[in-house]
Amino acid sequence: MNAAGIFAVPAEEAAREDLFWRLLNYFNIYRIVLGGLFLFTFFFLGEKLSFGNSSPLLFLMGGAAYLGSGLAFVPPIALRRPNFNSLLAVQVCVDIVVIVILMHASGGIQSGLGLLLRVSLAAAGLIRQGKLMLFFASLASISVLLEHVYDIFFLQSGAGQFVQAGMLCIGFFVMGGLMRVLTQMGHESAELARRRGEQLANLAQINHMVIQDYLDGIIVVDASGKIMNFNHQAGNLLSLEGTQMEQASLSALTPNLFLLWQCWLDGRIETGDQLATARGKRIRVRFVPAGGGFSVIFLEDWDRIQEQTRQIKLAALGRLTANVAHEIRNPLSSITYATELLLEDHSQAPVQSRLLNIILDNSRRLDNMVQDILRFNRNDRANLEKFPASEFFPTFLDQFCTIHKVPHESFSLEMKENPLLLFDKSHLNQVMWNLCRNAWHHSAKGERSIRLSIRQGEPEIVEIDIIDDGPGVPDALRVQLFEPFFTTSEGGTGLGLYIARSVAEANGASLDYVDDDEGGHFRIRCRRAKDGQKN
């Protein structure tokens, strides 16, 4: 249990006790004011209101005693000593005794001062939530009846006023019962409100936890575009700190996102997903109305979505790998071997030889596809090595040009520095072989058609650029460039670039297409090894 749960009950009890003491203080202020009014009416309005007409001195002493008792209770209430119940009981008992004395001094039940006892009883019922109400009502009734009996026997008052005294006493009990019912209802309502408040607070906490742990960014804005709520992921996607987003304007933080939101409000775009660029990041945006002029904006990292899609495709492809290896490769090897044997028979007619060559070429193409698929299982097995760039790239170019019969002058190697690379040599050879083969295929195949540039990028990063003088990749196809089975070449498997990027990532490097006007431009960013760093 957390600290909030441990201290919730004591804190609630302390708040209730503080409320009781404040109500008792208000009740005492009422008593002080009432005592002052008693004295004021005695001196200035006594004859008109008949207060104290039976015993002026007794009324004066009673009013002074009532005012004095109110003032005397100020320090105990302020100090909250002694206990609350004792102070309230004493105050009510003083009210009953003094008001009955004042009523006696003003002519008895007919003075109407007995009605003030209902106020005291009602106040006591509200403060004490109906407890001891029957006791106080009984005490007030006994006091009123004793005073009236005294008037009858000793002051020869009319016995006919017993009905009025009885009605007053019944009113005390009715007031006590009513206040008890009302306070119980109020207590039940307060308890229900408290439980509802706790539930709402718990739900709000749960919603906050869910929102904060949500993988997508969430922003809540009002009708003016002011950010009212957000989660940490939204700040990460927008490269903003939480303090920057609090009560900030969406237009000031991300103008592109704000304009897209305005278009959605105006009905110019639909509620569905939209692709936007916010603070240099590609984000998929979804707008949802929340009522009351508020809008909820869901933000998703487009690169993460693409990566998830890539992983799904990879998983599906991985399940096919075993079947492909056994179901296709073995019979394909038999077809290739049989075709090669038939081609060794020079007595074949030219048409038959051409058909056999077609079979052999397509068999080798299928075998290459199978080889590419099987490489998926070896992409994450990188044996990192430390070697200088000058040792790898000239040797690689010699081998590549020799095997593919490419003129050496078609390549230009630019390497002002000789950085130490941290890469699996066989993996780097595989990636470079794929990229250079694609570059040669799409280049003009002239002198210096393909340029290799090795240079220092960011600290501890080496950038390897492969640039050809071909037409480059159309804008519409760049999004799918590294997806498996996507190809623009006739006879291609669509796995070359995908495998090249996977191999690069297995070595802690990256492979991306650079959007510029230099033709086809691919860039490998790999780690630079330190002189003392182990392989």
pLDDT band at 497 (very low <50, low <70, confident <90, very high): confident
Q: What is the pTM of this model?
A: 0.43
* Residues in CB range of 410: below 8 A, 6 or more apart: 401, 440, 443, 445, 446, 447, 448, 449, 450
Instruction: Give me 240's structure tokens.
Output: 């903003």
* Domain spanning 385-527, CATH architecture: 2-Layer Sandwich (3.30)
Q: Residue 273: what pLDDT?
A: 60
- Rounded to whole angstroms, the Cα distance separating 486 from 505 reads 19
Cα torsion 238, 240, 246, 250: sign: negative
Three-state secondary structure readout of 495-506: CHHHHHHHHHHH
Instruction: Give me 253's structure tokens.
Output: 């933080």
Cα torsion 124, 126, 130, 134: sign: positive
Question: What are the tens digits of pLDDT across the range 65-74?
Answer: 999 999 999 9
Q: Are strands 281-291 and 217-221 parallel, antiparallel or unpaired?
A: unpaired
* Fold exhibited by the domain 304-377: Helix Hairpins (1.10.287)
In this predicted structure, which of 91-100, 333-342, 358-367, 428-437 has the lowest mean pLDDT? 358-367
Q: Which of 123, 139, 138 is nearest to 183 (CA)?
A: 123
In this predicted structure, which of 282-286, 363-367, 414-418, 448-452 has the lowest mean pLDDT? 363-367
| Domain ranges, ordered by start, for the chain | 8-193, 214-303, 304-377, 385-527
Q: Residue 32: what pLDDT?
A: 92
Q: Residue 260: what pLDDT?
A: 85
> Which superfamily does 214-303 belong to?
PAS domain (3.30.450.20)
Cα separations in angstroms, 417 against 16, 452, 453, 512, 530 = 77, 13, 10, 22, 14
> At 468, is the secondary structure helix, strand, or coil?
strand
Q: Residue 326: what pLDDT?
A: 62
Q: Residue 2: what pLDDT?
A: 43
Element at 295 (helix H, strand E):
strand 294-301
Question: What are the tens digits of pLDDT across the range 135-157?
Answer: 888 888 898 888 888 877 776 56
The answer to whether the peptide bond before residue 484 is cis (omega within 30 degrees of 0) is: no
Question: What are the tens digits of pLDDT across the range 241-250?
Answer: 767 788 788 8
In this predicted structure, which of 31-35, 123-127, 142-146, 306-310 has the lowest mean pLDDT? 306-310
